[in-house]
Structure 1
C-alpha cells in the first residue's frame, strides 16, 4: 500500500510512520508536513533511509502541492492539524485554515486521484464535556473551544464527502495522547521538562478536570486497524481506559521526578475548560480487535525516562513551545 501521511513529522504522525516502516521493509510512505512550529523532522530520522520513505515539505492548504503529492497513493492518513487549545483561544484563524480548509483541500485531491481510503484522525474534544458516562460514536458534537470546533467541522466534511461523493472515508476519535516525541507545549511534556529543569509548573484551576490517557503507540495501532478493517463512512473511538484528574496527573509527575507540590503554581482556569472527556470504545474493540496494551503507570514512567534522556531533542524546542 502506498500511503500519504499528513503531519507525519508531528508527535502522533511520526509514531505512526516509524511504526509502519520499522515493521515492513516493503512499506511505501510519503510524509507531507509543513514543519510549522510543532513539526520536527528529526522525529523521522530513524526511518529516513528506509527505501519506501519520502518526505515532502508542504502545506495541506496549498492545492497544487497537495494535488501533486496525493497522486499515486492508495490511502491518506490525515494527522496534520493545529491542536493546542490555548493557542486556539488566543487566535482561531490558523485552526480554521489548517483544520477545516486543509482537510477540504485534501478531500478534493483524494477524490480527483481516486484514493482508496481516507482516514481522518480526530479527537474526543469534538463532543464537549460529559459529567458521567461515555460518548458513543453517534453522540452529538458539541465543541466548546475554537480548536474542537474546527476539528468538528473537519469531521463533518470527511463524512459529507463519503455520503455525497462516495469517498471511502473513516474517522477516528481518540482520547488524550502521551508518550515520547510530544511537543513540549502539551501538559505531560510541559510538566516533565519544566520539572527536570527545576522550574514551576502551571496547574489550571483546582485540577479537577478529568481526561482519559492513551499511549501514542496504542493510538497508532488503533488507527492502523481502522485504516485496514474499518467500514467506509464509520467513526471509531480509540481510548486508553485510564481516566485521571489533572491534579492526580500532576502528583504522579511530581513523584516521577522527585519534586514536591511547592513546585506547582495554581493559575486561572482556561476559558471554557471542559471538565471531563470519556469515550466508549467498545465498537473498535468488538469489531476490529483493538485493546490498549501499554499500562498507564508503565507508559508514564517510560515517557518521563525518555524526556530525561533526550534533552537535546526538547531543549531547542522550548522557545517555540511557549505561548506568545
Structure 2
C-alpha cells in the first residue's frame, strides 16, 4: 500500500497486519515508518505465520519511483493507494506530483505486475463549491474544483476509471477523518480553541460529516473483500453518518478534550475577505502557506453531508464506532501522548 506512514495509511497497515496479511507499505519518512513498524506486531488473534509489515521508502511521483514500486510489488494481490498531498495550499507541481503522477505510477505498476485489485482513496472535497449541499450522492455532477487539491484528486479519479486493466477498482471518498495520530483536523481545531473562542460563521449552523479513522479502515477492508460484487471503479462516500452543526461539533470537541466551550460569531464575508488577502500575499511569497484559505474557511461555513446508501448497499458499510465514542478515544490518545513527553 502507498502512503503507509501517513495518518490513515498507518491505521490500514496495522489493521491488515493484525488480520494476518503481509503488508508492504511505502512512504517518504523513515522515522515515521519506524513508528508504524513498532506498532505492527503479530496479532494474538490471527496467529498467521505470513503476517508482517515491510517498509519501502519512495518519493512518489519522482523519477525512479515507479521502478522502486515495481520491485516492491512482487507477488502483491491488491493495492491500497493512500499516498496524497492533502494540504489546502501549495504549488501546482507539488499537487500534480503527489496526486496525479503518483496515481499514474501506481496504475502502471498494477498493469506491469498484473495486480487487478485497487482501492483508491479520494476525497469528498470534490463536491465543495462554497454552497450548502446536503446528502450528496456519488453520481451527482461535480462542480469546478475549489482548489488544487480537489482538482488533482479529481484528475486521479479519472485515471483510475480509465484503467481498463484493473479487474476490480474501488474509489473511496472519506469525509474529514479524525482519530489517534491525526496531525491535521483536530490539532488545528485544538490550537484555535486553546488560544481563544472558536469562530462561528453563518451562525455555526452549517452541517458537517466527520469520520472516525477505524470506520474508514473498515470500509477499506470491505473494499478489499473479493466476494463483494460492485461495479468496476465504483465510487463510495464514507462518513460516520452522524452530521453535526459546527456549533455542536465545537461543543463535542471541547467536552472531549476538557476545554472551555467558547464560541464567537464572526461574519463569513469578513473571514472570506481575510482569506483572499492572505492568499494574495502567499502568491507573492512562494513557499509561505497562508494560515487561512478560502477553502478551509468555507468548510466550516457551508453544509456538506454525504449520502451513504451506495456504500451500505454495495460494500455492506455501517459505521461501527459512533462519533462521540471516536472523539473520546481520540482525546484519550492525545492525553496519553502529552503524558509520555513530560
Match of 2:28 among 26, 34, 48: 34
How far, CA to CA, are the matches of 2:252 and 2:238 in structure 1?
Answer: 24
Q: 1:31 to 1:287 in 2, by over 3 A?
A: same
2:294 maps to 271
Q: Structure 2 length as normaliser, TM-score?
A: 0.78
3-state SS in 1 of match to 2:294: coil
3-state SS in 2 of match to 1:98: helix
1:320 maps to none
1:321 maps to none
Match of 2:17 among 14, 21, 24: 21
The aligned length equals 299
Q: 1:237 to 1:107 in 2, by over 3 A?
A: same
What is the deviation of 1:168? Answer: 3.1
How far, CA to CA, are the matches of 1:120 and 1:311 in structure 2?
Answer: 33
Bigger CA radius of gyration = 2
2:313 maps to 286
Q: Is the 8 A contact 1:99 1:151 kept in 2?
A: yes
Q: Is the 8 A contact 1:121 1:171 kept in 2?
A: yes
Alignment of 1:10-159 (within 5 A): 10-24=6-20, 27-35=21-29, 41-47=34-40, 51-61=51-61, 62-85=65-88, 88=89, 90-129=90-129, 131-142=132-143, 143-159=145-161
1:129-186 Cα offsets, whole Å, 9 max, x none, are 4624322221222231211111111111100113xx4553221111221111111x32
What is the deviation of 1:299? Answer: 1.2
Match of 2:325 among 289, 295, 298: 298
Listed as ranges, the gaps of 5+ residues in structure 1 are 317-324
Q: RMSD value over aligned CA atoms?
A: 2.8
Q: Is the 8 A contact 1:222 1:238 kept in 2?
A: yes
Moved more, 61-70 or 260-269: 260-269
Alignment of 1:170-189 (within 5 A): 170-183=170-183, 185-186=184-185, 188-189=186-187
Match of 2:188 among 187, 190, 210: 190
How far, CA to CA, are the matches of 1:29 and 1:103 in structure 2?
Answer: 19
Q: 1:10 to 1:264 in 2, by over 3 A?
A: farther
Listed as ranges, the gaps of 5+ residues in structure 2 are 44-50, 273-292
How far, CA to CA, are the matches of 2:195 and 2:176 in structure 1?
Answer: 24
